[in-house]
Structure 1
């Protein structure tokens, strides 16, 4: 009788007799040199749960610790450029003025601070009703009792080059090119358009101006004998006031009231 445990050299071995190919050559076989111990953090509160990410190098211009790096480009962009923009706007676009007298009450009060645009008279043309700031043409401020040292005046533009501006006086309306205008929208309450009579034709390059407080305004009416008939050279206009920014309780837009002059015809200047 044959022994069942006796191996037959001619019999193919069973699967259990063969060495495991998966164990020897399988793709999932672990490399003993790559095996790392697993850290159990369930019972070790001091063990790190996640690996700290590698720190990236500091980008230029960002904080490195407690030190901030600024390049020349950053300085030009954030420091020099804003200053140049503000200076450019101040010199070429906007002007700041303190009102020296009460000639424009109640539209503007003495001591008010206003902003003007330098875009008028060029490239934006002047219009009747504009509140213009101009150089004192013939010592007008001496007759207005100015409370601030200044060589600039502020008035409302009434007559453009070519206009004939006249008034019969005694509370009569101002007439421009034959059309009477209603100035109640901006005249100081209780003040007449003009107590004195006058008639002026504005030549080329000149302007006829009046204050809103006609009872206390040494304007074009009061200087008809100054050699220029009280007219302001267009080139002496520095801007048109459009907003009062101080004091805070008087802050607001300054209206030109262009609608008051909408029916006045335009005349070409002569001379």
Structure 2
């Protein structure tokens, strides 16, 4: 036989259970309300990282074959040149001078919705844009860059470059690009860069802008960052290195922009990395995926 106290405890038990269930439901509703805030915070953090540290870029043309492919996505370090000068052999993304015309055309969005989608795709590095370029640095301020020597090679400060590891090779004939079909001889002004695509026959680089008023060189201040890693496609993902040939080049008569003259010492991800796998490359010019 239960006491009166036990009867009262039994009557209160369901009420306690109901209150716990109500609290759980309330917590569930609160969690759903927090999701939009978490999404906004995540987007803001991604934007800050993209703006100041690392940004993804989409490759829409073939001027950097075989190193990069059309449709590849690369990560660009936007901080590295705050701590060191641009070096020969670096693959860089830069804002093209006003005289540089796009190497790939991208249709303009026809309505606000498409513009928003383009912006989101650019922010994630999955959609092309049109104003920025990707090329390899061949000469820095003070360097004399010439083509070609008796063996048809590009020379920097008298040292011939061995470009066999990255110049475009036809996948059918296996014939490699010549270092250049165009002869040139330039001393790179201080604070500027001489850049070339790895697919020399399909790259409107410094060689084709020599009459622009700056000898085809690009201002260091236009450099957005260094492309250091290919993230897509996954099967050929890997670091984008600096071939060892650039480490054998002596300094020019002037200091490289951004710091004292120095041989191209390897940086953490600038080992002598061979061209990335994945068949004939494409890639080169692209616009920043902002």
TM-score past 0.5 threshold: yes
Q: CA deviation at 1:140?
A: 3.0
Contact 1:134 1:153 in 2 (8 A): yes
Task: Give 1:67's aligned residue.
Answer: 26
Please identify the structure whose Cα radius of gyration is greater: 1
Is 1:97 equivalent to 2:83 in the alignment? Answer: no
Give the Cα–Cα distance (whole angstroms) in 1 for the partners of residues 62 and 86 of structure 2: 23
Structure 2 CA distance for partners of 1:117 and 1:198, relative to 1, 3 Å: same
Say which structure, 1 or 2, has more relative contact order (CA 8 Å, 6+ apart).
2
Structure 2 CA distance for partners of 1:264 and 1:86, relative to 1, 3 Å: same
Could you tell me which of 246, 259, 277 is aligned with 1:261?
A: 246
Structure 2 CA distance for partners of 1:247 and 1:93, relative to 1, 3 Å: same
Structure 2 CA distance for partners of 1:208 and 1:147, relative to 1, 3 Å: same
Contact 1:105 1:188 in 2 (8 A): yes
Contact 2:142 2:188 in 1 (8 A): yes
Contact 1:132 1:238 in 2 (8 A): yes
My pick for the range that moved more, 239-248 or 155-164, is 239-248
Query: What does residue range 6-155 of structure 1 map to in structure 2 within 5 Å?
Result: 64-68=23-27, 81-142=41-102, 144=103, 146-148=104-106, 149-155=129-135
Could you tell me which of 162, 172, 181 is aligned with 2:142?
A: 162
Give the Cα–Cα distance (whole angstroms) in 2 for the partners of residues 124 and 169 of structure 1: 31
Could you report, residue by residue, the CA deviation over 1:77-131 in whole angstroms, capped at 9, with x for unpaired residues?
A: 9566544332211111112222232110111122322221111432342111111
Give the Cα–Cα distance (whole angstroms) in 1 for the partners of residues 101 and 231 of structure 2: 23
Structure 2 CA distance for partners of 1:259 and 1:169, relative to 1, 3 Å: closer
Give the Cα–Cα distance (whole angstroms) in 2 for the partners of residues 134 and 79 of structure 1: 31
Q: CA deviation at 1:254?
A: 4.0
Task: Give 2:203's aligned residue.
Answer: 217
Could you tell me which of 170, 174, 181 is aligned with 2:161?
A: 181
TM-score scaled by length of structure 1? 0.68
Give the Cα–Cα distance (whole angstroms) in 2 for the partners of residues 234 and 155 of structure 1: 13
**SS of residue in 2 equivalent to 1:64:** helix
Structure 2 CA distance for partners of 1:240 and 1:124, relative to 1, 3 Å: same
Q: Which runs of 5+ in 1 are unaligned?
A: 1-35, 37-53
**SS of residue in 2 equivalent to 1:66:** helix
TM-score scaled by length of structure 2? 0.64
Q: CA deviation at 1:222?
A: 1.3
Contact 2:230 2:240 in 1 (8 A): no
Give the Cα–Cα distance (whole angstroms) in 2 for the partners of residues 121 and 78 of structure 1: 33
The structure where helix makes up a greater share of residues is 2
**SS of residue in 1 equivalent to 2:101:** helix
My pick for the range that moved more, 131-140 or 233-242, is 131-140
Structure 2 CA distance for partners of 1:75 and 1:247, relative to 1, 3 Å: closer
Give the Cα–Cα distance (whole angstroms) in 1 for the partners of residues 151 and 93 of structure 2: 27
Q: CA deviation at 1:228?
A: 0.7
Query: What does residue range 200-211 of structure 1 map to in structure 2 within 5 Å?
Result: 200-211=186-197
Is 1:242 equivalent to 2:228 in the alignment? Answer: yes
Q: CA deviation at 1:237?
A: 0.8
Give the Cα–Cα distance (whole angstroms) in 1 for the partners of residues 224 and 100 of structure 2: 17
